[in-house]
A and B are shown apart, each in its own frame.
Chain A
Amino acid sequence: GIQVEQSPPDLILQEGANSTLRCNFSDSVNNLQWFHQNPWGQLINLFYIPSGTKQNGRLSATTVATERYSLLYISSSQTTDSGVYFCAVNPGAGSYQLTFGKGTKLSVIP
């Protein structure tokens, strides 16, 4: 099946710093999403981005489908950004399963 690798696995930031999280995948995809799991366990949609670039406030994401990677940018980080960021992909071709990466655990300290 498709492989999803996220890096870095852990990241500690000072409040106000910027960061880039990466997601590599092993096959072409027709669905890619970024999620934030907050410290209370909620999985929150950030972006649905099988290709291209999107921005939402301090967050933006870019997927380069031909090169099989996606990037999530967090600018001016805040303590509320802490949690685990998951990339999830679906290869299409009749598959209905989102395959999740292991996540990047982000800790933003004041």
Chain B
Amino acid sequence: DAGVIQSPRHEVTEMGQEVTLRCKPISGHDYLFWYRQTMMRGLELLIYFNNNVPIDDSGMPEDRFSAKMPNASFSTLKIQPSEPRDSAVYFCASSFGWGFSTGELFFGEGSRLTVL
């Protein structure tokens, strides 16, 4: 099976521009997570979905960030307008179930965002 697929792998943009990151979870997985990784803060959970429904977006830093999951095989994370402090690696991850003995998390390769 293909793993979690993210695009683009690298994005360089200018401050104020809209950025859209895309994710295709592993087929059959019902949980999808968006994480952000920076040197200063490590890995942070931004938002997660269960069966395409956003469950907890308390990690989304500001209203400039939004995420959608229109179907079981696709999710987007959008930043509008982007700022230099948004520069980070954004990871998408998926799992089947969540709880004891289930919920093994698989990560995509990440999207490295640089905002100039």
Q: Which B residues are CB-close (under 8 A) to A97?
A: 45, 48, 56, 59
Set of chain B residues within 8 Å of A35, measured between Cβ atoms:
107
Asked if B109 CB lies within 8 Å of chain A CBs, one says: yes
Q: Please, which residue of chain B has its CB at the minimum distance from the CB of A97?
A: B45
B99 within 8 A of A: yes
B104-A98 in contact (CB<8A): no
Contact between chains at A33 and B105 (CB < 8 Å): yes
Chain B residues, CB < 8 A from A43: 91, 107, 110
Q: Is A85 part of the contact surface with B, judged by Cβ < 8 Å?
A: no
Chain B interface secondary structure, helix, strand, loop or mixed? strand
User: How far is B93's CA from A51's CA once the two chains are assembled, in angstroms?
Assistant: 22
Contact string, A33-45, partner B, CB cutoff 8 A, digits 1/0?
1010000011111
A92/B104 in contact, CB under 8 A? no
Contact B100 A42 (CB under 8 A): no
Q: Once the chains bind, are A100 and B104 in contact (CB under 8 Å)? A: no
Say whether, besides A100-B42, A100-B43, A92 and B105 are in contact (CB < 8 Å).
Answer: no
B43 near A86 with CB under 8 A, answer yes
- For the complex, what is the distance from the CA of A44 to the CA of B93, rounded to whole Å? 11
Count how many chain B residues have C-beta atoms less than 8 Å from C-beta atoms of the other chain. 24
Smallest CB gap from B101: residue in A: A50
Q: How far is the CB of A83 from chain B (nearest CB, A)?
A: 14
> Is A90 at the interface (CB under 8 A from chain B)?
yes
Q: Does A68 contact B (CB under 8 A)?
A: no
CA distance A97 to B33 in the complex (A): 9
In chain B, positions 74-116 with a C-beta closer than 8 Å to chain A are 89, 91, 98-101, 103-107, 109-110, 112
Give the docked Cα–Cα distance between A45 and B54 (Å).
24
Question: Which residue of chain A has its CB nearest to the CB of B59?
Answer: A97
Is A102 on the interface with B (CB-CB < 8 A)?
yes
Closest 9 CB pairs of A and B: A48-B104, A30-B100, A43-B107, A100-B43, A97-B45, A31-B103, A42-B109, A96-B98, A41-B110
